[in-house]
Amino acid sequence: MYGFKTFICLVSWPILLIACGHADLELQLPAHFPPMVFPAKNEPTPEKVALGKALFFDKNLSLDSSIACTTCHLPELAFTDGHVVSPGIYGRLGKRNTPSLLNAGYLDLVNKDGGVKRLDLQALVPIEDENEMGISILSLSDRLSQNSAYQKLSQEAYGENISPKTISHALASFVRTLLSTDTPYDNYLAGDSSALPPSAKRGLALFESNELNCRACHGGFNFTENAFENNGLHENYKDLGRALITLDSLDHGKFRVPSLRNVTITAPYMHDGSLGTLEQVIDHYEQVGQEPRRGQSKKIKPFALSTQQRDDLLAFLHALTDNIYAAEVP
């Protein structure tokens, strides 16, 4: 199975330190990363991560045993899948573009519309969605309870048999170990001035400039403020986004601002996967900055880039790519 060399005492993920037994998991984080806050009732341990990892790669989590979590969240694509929207059971298509799971442990509200309040509950959404995995969590729990290996892992992790709670909590524990912390940009911040080529350094200056105002939405260590914004993608949105949760018309077309980490390998872009390249994304912001659409975020400013500036900005975005997961794929 992917990544971890053993489920017992050691996890080989290059960014983790885990002790034997039931000790809590400790994440190795760069100095510019904040600590991750774990829920009091589901602090991750090696045993919980082992159960979550086994579940993550198991197609038996779907009604017809054709779809695993990793079907839509491929490690080599920063835990996305390259589709506009992902196919689920029986070839049914989802409704939104698949987000990366890297650094998802830092989210307070989960999903593109913020409709899930805790990561520990998020797995219930794709599992029960008729277009994704299409099975009730109770039916899934009954199915997995017939598997002695899962019963053993669940007992080791939570001291109880496999259940809806242990399934969703263990998956969250595994996802919390999926981190992007070792990009050329991170190495540059750590003091390696050669980690960024000159073009990327110029792109960084552009990215942080008042002219482009990228940091207004893509700020912080994870290149997102985790806010919900209408980025002017459409004049009229078929998918109302955050408004589906808040029932507030002012939230029409607002979606969570995604992290830009690994953005060069997570195409296509936007909540509906409608933009296929980063060049198209830059074109979009250049256009709507100059010709705003109804309901569009005021944070988007008008700008115009020269060919050199565009190349520099793209060079910087390439410097946000973390390849540790791709290297682990069998």
pLDDT at 285 over 80: yes
Whether the Cβ atoms of residue 11 and residue 18 lie closer than 8 Å to each other: yes
In this prediction, residue 23 carries a pLDDT of 53
Mean pLDDT, rounded, for 232-237:
96
Verdict on whether the full-model pTM lies above 0.85: yes
Sign for the pseudo-dihedral over CA of 75, 179, 2, 69 = negative
**Which residues, including other chains, have CB under 8 Å from residue 28's CB and lie 6 or more apart?**
15, 16, 17, 181
Mean pLDDT, rounded, for 113-134:
96
* pLDDT band (50, 70, 90) for residue 323: confident
DSSP strand pairing (26-27 vs 16-17): antiparallel
Whether the Cβ atoms of residue 61 and residue 135 lie closer than 8 Å to each other: yes
pLDDT at 290 over 90: yes
**Which string of b and e fits 227-241 if b means at least 16 CB within 10 Å?**
bbbbbbbbeebebbb
Q: List the helix and strand counts (H, then E) for the chain.
A: 12, 4
In this prediction, residue 119 carries a pLDDT of 96
Mean pLDDT, rounded, for 222-246:
97
- As given in the structure block, the two tokens for residue 151 are 């019963």
In this prediction, residue 327 carries a pLDDT of 55
**More confident call, 58 vs 22:** 58
pLDDT at 9 over 70: no
In this prediction, residue 30 carries a pLDDT of 92
Domains of the chain: 16-175 (1.10.760.10), 184-328 (1.10.760.10)
| Distance, CA of 281 to CA of 263 (rounded, Å) | 11
In this prediction, residue 326 carries a pLDDT of 59
pLDDT at 89 over 70: yes
pLDDT at 4 over 70: no
3-class DSSP assignment, residue 301: coil
> pLDDT tens digit string along 149-175?
999 999 999 999 999 999 999 999 999
pLDDT at 22 over 90: no
pLDDT at 6 over 90: no
Q: In 176-329, which ranges are continuous DSSP H helix? A: 184-189, 198-207, 243-246, 278-290, 307-318
Whether the Cβ atoms of residue 177 and residue 44 lie closer than 8 Å to each other: yes
